[in-house]
Amino acid sequence: MEYYLLIPFLPLAAFIINITLGKDILRNKADWVSVLAVCGSAVVAIYTLYDVAVLKNTYDKDLYTWIVSGNFKVSVGFLIDQLTSVMLIVVTVCGSLITIYSVGYMHGDPGYYRFFAYLSLFTFCMLMLVMGNNFLQLYFGWEGVGLCSYFLIGYWYEKKSASDAGKKAFIVNRFGDFGFGLGVIMVFLYFGTLHYSVVFGNVQTIAHQTVNIYGYVISLPTLIALLLFCGAIGKSAQLPLHVWLPDAMEGPTPVSALIHAATMVTAGVFLVARCNPIFNLSETALIVVALTGGITALFAATIGLVQNDIKRIIAYSTVSQLGYMFLACGVGAYAAGIFHLYTHAFFKALLFLCAGSVMHAMGGELNLQKMGGLKKYMPWTYRTMLIGSLSIAGIPGLAAFFSKDEILWLAYAGESPVGKFVFVLGAIGAFLTAFYSFRLIFLTFHGKFRGTHEQEHHLHESPKVMIIPLMLLAVGAIGAGWVGIPPLLGGGAHISHFLEPVLGHPHVHATHAEEWLIMGISVLIAVSGIICASYIYLVRLDIPVRFARNFRPVYNILFNKYYVDELYSFLFIRPTLWVADHILVRITDAKFIEGVVNGVPKSIGDFSQSFRRIQTGIAQHYGIVMAAGAIFIIAFVLLFM
C-alpha cells in the first residue's frame, strides 16, 4: 500500500466530514477532525522524508486514470522525490501548527466548522499540487488552492471588505492562471503528454525549436517557460500581480499565516523549481524570473517601510521574500530558492501568528500607532516575534541567514548575466527588510502604550493553545536553516545536496574570499538595519514624523503602495465595468438575449393568437375545411397516381 496516499487523503476526509457533519453535529468539536488529520499527514510526511533521504526511495506512480481522450491521457498520480518531500514537510508541519493555533484563535466564531473544513480542503489541494506527477494535477491543485484562498479570505463574508478581498484574490490569480493554462496546453502540444517524467526527460527535443506568432519568432522553451511563469506571478504575488496579497489580510490571521506565507504563495516557486529543466533551456526566461523577483523584493520592501497595519507590513514582507525566492531560481540556484521557501515558511508563519496573538490581545486592533509597550503584557509573544524578526533580518545562526546568504552569494557569483544587478537589489532589500521588521517590533512592543484605556485593561497573554505553536515555530525559525549551513562555515550544505538530483546545482565563478566578503556584507546589512531602526524608533521618534512632513510626496507614494491599485482601477477595472454596464447589460443582455428570450415566446404567442381565429366555432367553416381536404386528397391521387 502506498503509504504516502494518506498524506493528501487524510485532510480530504477531514474536509468531507467537517462540511457534511460540521454544522449540526460536530459544531465546536470540528477542530479535532482537522487537527488529527493534518497532524497525521505531518507524521506520514516526516516518515516520507526519512524514506526519501535515508532509504533513498523515490516514487512515481499513477493511481487512477482520470481522462482518456484520443491521444490525451491524464492520471491522478503521485511523484515523491526530494523536492516533494521537502515541500511536504513545509506544508504539513506548518499546517499542523497553524491548525492547532486556530483552535484558540477562532474560538467562539459562529462558522467554526466551516473554517476548519476549508482549512482541510486547502491542505488537500496544496498537497495534491505538490505531490502530483503531471501538469494537470498541478493545475487542479493550483486552482483548488486559489478557490480555498477565496473561501478563507472572504471567511467573514458579511464584511464587504473581506468578500471584496476574496474576489480580488481570485480574479487577479485568474490573470496569471490564464498564462499558466496556455503554458500547460503548449506543453501538451509539443510533448504529447503532461507527465513530468516524460516532459522533463525529453526536454531537449524542444531546446532549439521556435514558434512564429504573427511574424515574431520566439524560442519555444522561452515561450513555455514565460507562460508557466505567468501563473507563478499571479499565485506568488509578484509584480505586477501582487495587488491581491495585502488585501488578503482581511482573512483570519491563521489563514494569512498558512496560505499567504507558508504554502499557497510558495506554489509559484515550487512550479518554477519543478519545471527547472524547461527554464534552464531559456536564458531569457531565467532573466525575466530573476529580474521580476529582484524588483519585487525591493519594491515591496519600500512599501512596507511606512505601513501602519501590522498584517500589511508582514504581507509586504512576504511579497518581498517571495521575490528573493524567484531571484534565486532566476540565477539558477533553485535549491537555494527552495531552501529559502522552507525557512521562510517557519519564520513568516511565526510572524503572522504572533501578529494574530497581538491582535487577539488588542481586541482586533491592527494599527501600529495604537500599540506600544506590549512587551510586559505578552512576554512569550514578544520573545517569539523577536526571534522571527531576527531570523528574517538575517542574523547569523538563525534560519534565514543561511538561506538568504546563499541566495545573495549565488546571485553574485553565478553565471546569470543579471546576477550582480539583482544581487544589489537583494542587498538593498535585505537592509530594508531588517529595518521594517524591527520597526514593527519596536513600535509594537517597546515604548509607551498608545492605545485606549479599555484596550489596556484587556491586554493579556494568549492561551497556551496559541502560544505552543508559536514556540514550536520559533524553534523552527532558529533551527530550520541548520540543514543548509554552507561548507564555508564548516557545514555540509545538506539541503542543496539533497535536492541536487531534482534541481541541479549552479556553477559558481568566484573565489572563497569573495564568498566571505558577501557573507560579511549580509551580516553588516542586517545589523545596520536593526541599529537604524532602533535609533529611529526607540530614541528619535521625531525623525519619522519629520520625514513624513518634509518628504510628503515620497511618503505618500510609499504609503499608497505606489498607487498601483488606483492605476489598475483606472486602466482595467473601470473600463471593464463600463463595458459591462453600458454594453453588455444594456445592449447584449437587454436587447439581444432578452429579445430572444422574450421574443420567441411572444412571437409564438402572437402566432397562436392569430392562428386561433381559425377556430370560429361555426360548424360549416370546419365542414369547408374538411371538404377542402377531401378534394385535395382526391385530386392529388387522381393527378399523380
Partner 1 sequence: MLPKIFFAYFAFAILFIAMLVVTRKNPVHSVLWMLLLFFHIAGLYLFLNAEFLAAVQIVVYAGAILVLFLFVVFLLNIKEEIKAKRFINAWPTGFAFALGIFFLFVMTFRSYIAPPAGPYTVEMVQSESNIVVLGKILYTEFLFPFEIASLILLVAIVGAIVLAKRRLKS
Partner 2 sequence: MVPLYWYIVLSAALFSVGVFGFLARRNVIIMFMSIELMLNAVNMSLITFSHYLQDMRGQILAFFVIAVAAAEAAIGLAIIIALFRNKSTAHVDEIHEMQG
Reduced to 3 states (helix: H, G, I; strand: E, B; else coil), residue 85 is helix
Per CB under 8 A, does 627 bind partner 1?
yes
**What is the largest distance, in Å, between two alpha-carbon atoms of the chain?**
117
Cβ-based nearer residue to partner 2, 594 or 606: 606
The stretch among 415-423, 545-553, 569-577, 615-623 that binds partner 2 (CB under 8 A) is 615-623
Taking the complex as a whole, the smallest distance from the CB of residue 627 to partner 2 amounts, in Å, to 6
Taking the complex as a whole, the smallest distance from the CB of residue 602 to partner 2 amounts, in Å, to 19
Work out which of 627, 633, 634, 635 binds partner 2, going by CB under 8 A.
627
Taking the complex as a whole, the smallest distance from the CB of residue 616 to partner 2 amounts, in Å, to 6
Cβ-based nearer residue to partner 1, 55 or 618: 618
Site for partner 1 in 135-154 (CB under 8 A): none
Q: Report which of 340, 371, 396, 621 is spatially closest to residue 521, judged by C-alpha positions.
A: 396
Work out which of 554, 597, 604, 634 binds partner 1, going by CB under 8 A.
634
Residue 132: DSSP 8-state: B
The stretch among 112-120, 337-345, 521-529, 615-623 that binds partner 1 (CB under 8 A) is 615-623
Per CB under 8 A, does 618 bind partner 1?
yes
Strand partners, 64: 76
Task: Please state whether the peptide bond connecting residue 396 to the residue before it is cis, i.e. omega within 30 degrees of 0.
Answer: no
Residue 492 and residue 184: Cα distance in Å, rounded?
Answer: 37
Per CB under 8 A, does 619 bind partner 2?
yes
Per CB under 8 A, does 608 bind partner 2?
no
Q: How many amino acids of this chain bind partner 1 (CB under 8 A)? A: 11
Cβ-based nearer residue to partner 2, 584 or 624: 624
Per CB under 8 A, does 616 bind partner 2?
yes
Per CB under 8 A, does 610 bind partner 2?
no
| Grid cell in block for residue 634 | 382526391
612 binds, among partner 2, partner 1, none (CB under 5 to 8 A by kind): partner 2
638 binds, among partner 2, partner 1, none (CB under 5 to 8 A by kind): partner 1
Residue 305 and residue 307: Cα distance in Å, rounded?
Answer: 6
Taking the complex as a whole, the smallest distance from the CB of residue 589 to partner 1 amounts, in Å, to 48
Taking the complex as a whole, the smallest distance from the CB of residue 631 to partner 1 amounts, in Å, to 5
Kind and range of the H or E run holding 466: helix 464-479
Tell the residue number behind the cell numbers 546568504, with chain if given: 405
Distances in Å between the Cα of 79 and the Cα atoms of 58, 134, 204 are 8, 9, 22
Residue 38 and residue 359: Cα distance in Å, rounded?
Answer: 25
Work out which of 1, 618, 637, 639 binds partner 2, going by CB under 8 A.
618
634 binds, among partner 2, partner 1, none (CB under 5 to 8 A by kind): partner 1
Rounded to 5°, the CA angle 387-265-238 comes to 100
Q: Give the list of residues 6+ apart from residue 167 with CB closer than 8 angstroms, or none.
A: 150, 154
Strand partners, 69: 72
Q: How far is CA 148 from the centre of its chain?
A: 11
Taking the complex as a whole, the smallest distance from the CB of residue 637 to partner 1 amounts, in Å, to 9
617 binds, among partner 2, partner 1, none (CB under 5 to 8 A by kind): partner 2
Taking the complex as a whole, the smallest distance from the CB of residue 612 to partner 1 amounts, in Å, to 18
Taking the complex as a whole, the smallest distance from the CB of residue 640 to partner 1 amounts, in Å, to 13
Strand partners, 76: 64
Residue 470 and residue 351: Cα distance in Å, rounded?
Answer: 9
What's the sign of the alpha-carbon dihedral 308, 314, 318, 320?
positive
Cβ-based nearer residue to partner 2, 550 or 609: 609
Residue 262 and residue 390: Cα distance in Å, rounded?
Answer: 18
Work out which of 513, 617, 640, 641 binds partner 2, going by CB under 8 A.
617
Q: How many amino acids of this chain bind partner 2 (CB under 8 A)? A: 10
Q: Report which of 394, 389, 417 is spatially closest to residue 407, judged by C-alpha positions.
A: 394
Q: Report which of 163, 120, 169 is spatially closest to residue 143, judged by C-alpha positions.
A: 169
Neighbours of 540 (CB within 10 A): 11
Work out which of 55, 364, 615, 640 binds partner 2, going by CB under 8 A.
615
Residue 41 and residue 128: Cα distance in Å, rounded?
Answer: 13
| Grid cell in block for residue 76 | 491522478
Per CB under 8 A, does 622 bind partner 1?
no
Task: Please state whether the peptide bond connecting residue 240 to the residue before it is cis, i.e. omega within 30 degrees of 0.
Answer: yes
Per CB under 8 A, does 631 bind partner 1?
yes
Taking the complex as a whole, the smallest distance from the CB of residue 620 to partner 2 amounts, in Å, to 5
Cβ-based nearer residue to partner 2, 585 or 630: 630
Residues that bind partner 2 in the complex, under the rule CB under 8 A: 612, 615-620, 623-624, 627
Residues that bind partner 1 in the complex, under the rule CB under 8 A: 618, 620-621, 624, 627-628, 630-631, 634-635, 638
